[in-house]
Amino acid sequence: MRRDAIFYTLFKRVPGLLFELVEQPPAEAANYRFESVEVKEPTFRIDGVFLPPPDATSQIVFFAEVQFQKDELLYHRFFSESMLYMYRNPTLYDDWYGVVILQSRSLEPEKTTIHRSLINSSQVQRIYLDELGNPDEQKVGISLMQLTIASETQMVEQAKRLIERVQQEQITVLAKEEIIDVITTIAVYKFANLSREEVEAMLGVKLEETRVYQEAKQEGLEQGVEIGREQGIEIGLQQGVEIGREQAKLELVPQFLALGMSMEEVAKLLNLTIEQVRLAAE
């Protein structure tokens, strides 16, 4: 399971989740949008960029990196991508902030001396998901992220408790429907081998009522329409060829009749009906 992919899916769906981790979130945190951007020459793909709304009082761009495996070049890549993005967009933002999310401290690169001034600065925050504490005592957004590192058994129990919690509490950061969407999204990723009914029974929810299911259904419908369109085109081409072939036969009818052949003989030769031959002759 690609848990970093889950995180970027969640951030795309609910950008405000990132700011549950940030010590001093911007005032306009709820209006930030999440993007995956490409910076060329050299080409870098930055998976997590949070862009402020145009009317924000302070134009702070947030860069996020989610890491669930060891990578000695983590900070080389992260800071190179971030700084290059700032270089390519010098007038759009007046500040930046970096958030590095790791499953555990053990995934930290062995050598970080070269980046120590940035890593230890007030502009960079490192988050270790396994050190955030008891999920039941965390903010809802943080509890959601902790689901991604829970074992399958733990995830089911944590998800159920979280669902019960959001149904009972007044949630202001995220809508309850969005929280259920996020939980089911994580469940779908984690339990890809289970059927929809099994996931429903496991979590005690109806996936038909969630956005993740509706989007998947819509995507399936769109793919079905596209397949139907392609099949329609193919059928149309086949019909066109057939019509063309039929027309060619009809155009030969007068020539064969001119040779003294009877209508019955021409119909048999060209595999036409007597009526078709008669109409072609007229």
Which residues, listed in sequence order, are joined to residue 95 by a DSSP beta bridge? 60
Average of per-residue pLDDT values in the chain? 79
Token pair, residue 36, equals 């995956």
Cα 65 to Cα 86, 88, 179, distances in angstroms: 16, 19, 22
Of 63-77, 124-138, 219-233, least confident by mean pLDDT is 219-233
Q: What is the pLDDT of residue 237?
A: 47
Q: Read off the pLDDT of residues 98-107 as tens digits, 9 standing for 90 and up.
A: 999 999 999 9
Residue 149 has pLDDT above 80, yes or no: yes
Residue 59 has pLDDT above 90, yes or no: yes
Residue 1 has pLDDT above 50, yes or no: no
C-beta contacts of 211-214 below 8 A and 24+ residues apart: 211/13, 211/177, 211/178, 211/181, 212/181, 212/184, 212/185, 212/188, 213/184
Q: How far is CA 182 from the centre of its chain?
A: 13
**What three-state secondary structure class fits 64?**
strand
Q: Read off the pLDDT of residues 111-128 as tens digits, 9 standing for 90 and up.
A: 999 999 999 999 999 999
Considering the entire predicted model, what is its pTM? 0.64
Average pLDDT over residues 6-28: 84
In one-letter notation, the amino acid at residue 255 is Q
